[in-house]
Structure 1
Amino acid sequence: MRPDDIPLLSMLRDTMGYHGARQRVIAENVANANTPGYTPSDVPRSEFERVLAGQAQASGGMRTTHAMHYGGDGGASGSRQFRTERAPDSETTSNGNSVVIEEQMVDANDNRMRFETALSLYQKSLNMIRMASRSPGQ
C-alpha cells in the first residue's frame, strides 16, 4: 500500500501542492513589485476545490455528507495543475503597478502557516501508519 492510496493522505498532499503553487505566485508578485504595469496574480481557492473534487471522483472513496464538505459533484480530471488569475491589490502606483508588498507578505505568511499545518498532519499520519504496522514489542 502506498500513502497515496489513503484518501486523507492524498488530500493533504494536494493541499500542500496548492499552497506550494500559491507561494510561488506570491513570490513572483513580490519580485515584480517595482515592474511598471505589473498586476499581481493569485491561485484562487476554487482551484484547490477543483483538484479536491477531481481527487474525490478518482478515488471513489470520498463522499460528501454535508453541502459544506469538499468532494463529489463537479470537478475536473484531478489534475495537479493550478490556474492563476489576476488579483490586483488595494492600490495602484503611478506607473501602473498594483503590488502592495504588505498585502503580499500577509498572504505569504497565511499561506505558509496553512502549508505547515498540512505538512504536520501528513507527517503525523505517516508516523501513525508506521507505528501501527510494526510488530508488537518493536
Structure 2
Amino acid sequence: MLEKISVLAKASDMARHASARHRVIAENVANADTPGYRARDLRPFSELVNAGGVNEAFTPRATRPEHLLGQAPGRPAAFEPVVRADRAAPNGNSVSLETESIMAVETQGDHSLALGVYSKAVDILRIGLGRSR
C-alpha cells in the first residue's frame, strides 16, 4: 500500500541511490593505489528522475487546475556507475581521496534527507488516520 504513495517511493529511491553511491565511493577509496584504476560515480539522483533514468520517467500530472503538479510513480533502474573525467596520476589512477571524502559527506546528506522525508510523510499519514507516534 505505502509503495503506491509517490513521495514515499521517491524518498525510498533516493535512499537506495545514496546507498549505491556510498558503495561506489568505497570502491574508489579501496582502489586509490591501484594503477590504471579510474574513479567512478553515479549520475545524480535528480538526473535519473528527471531524464528518464527511472523505470517510469518523472511525468508530473495535475489532478485539478489549481493543483501543484504531482508525479507519476516510478522505481529507479539499477544504478550504474560511470567513469569520472578526473585527471589521472602518472600511474593512470584518477582517485583523489579528498574528492571521495567530499562526495561521501554529500551522499550522507542525501541519505539523511531521504530518510527525513520518508519519516515525516509517514507521520503525516498517521495524523491523517487519527493515530500518533
With normalisation by structure 1, the TM-score equals 0.74
Structure 1 residue 131 displacement after superposition: 2.5
Change (3 A) 1:106 1:116: same
**Any unmatched runs of 5+ in structure 1?**
none
Aligned equivalents of 1:48 and 1:20: distance in 2?
A: 16
**Equivalent residues in 2 for 1:50-65 (5 A)?**
50-52=52-54, 54=56, 56=58, 62-63=60-61
- Please give the residue correspondences for 1:10-25 in structure 2 after superposition, counting only pairs within 5 Å: 10-25=9-24
Counterparts of 2:3 and 2:33, CA distance in 1:
42
Q: 1:122 to 1:78 in 2, by over 3 A?
A: closer
* Letter of the 2:17 counterpart: Y
TM-score w.r.t. the length of structure 2 is 0.76
1:26-41 counterparts in 2 under 5 A? 26-41=25-40
Q: Work out the CA distance in 1 between the residues paired with 2:6 and 2:13.
A: 10
Task: Identify if the C-alpha distance between structure 1 residues 29 and 79 changes in structure 2 by more than 3 Å, giving closer, same or farther.
Answer: same
2:103 and 2:131 map into 1 onto residues whose CA distance is 45
Query: Is the 1:51–1:79 Cα contact (8 Å) retained in structure 2?
Result: yes
Give the Cα separation in 2 of the matches to 1:97 and 1:30: 11
Q: 5+ residue gaps in structure 2? A: 63-68
Query: Are 2:37 and 2:92, in contact at CA under 8 Å, matched by a contact in 1?
Result: yes
Shift of 1:47: 3.2
Alignment match, 2:48: 47
Separation of aligned partners in 1, 2:130 and 2:70: 33
Structure 1 residue 81 corresponds to structure 2 residue 78? yes
Deviation at 1:71, TM superposition (A): 6.1
What secondary structure, in the 3-state scheme, does the structure 1 residue paired with 2:38 have?
coil
User: Does 1:9 find its partner at 2:5?
Assistant: no
Secondary structure in structure 1 of the residue aligned to 2:94: coil
Change (3 A) 1:111 1:70: farther
Shift of 1:108: 1.0
Aligned residues: 124
Residue by residue, what CA displacement relative to the aligned partner does 1:25-51 show, whole Å, maximum 9, x if unpaired?
Answer: 111111110111100111112334434
Verify: 1:96 aligned to 2:92, yes or no: yes
| Structure 2 CA distance for partners of 1:43 and 1:71, relative to 1, 3 Å | farther
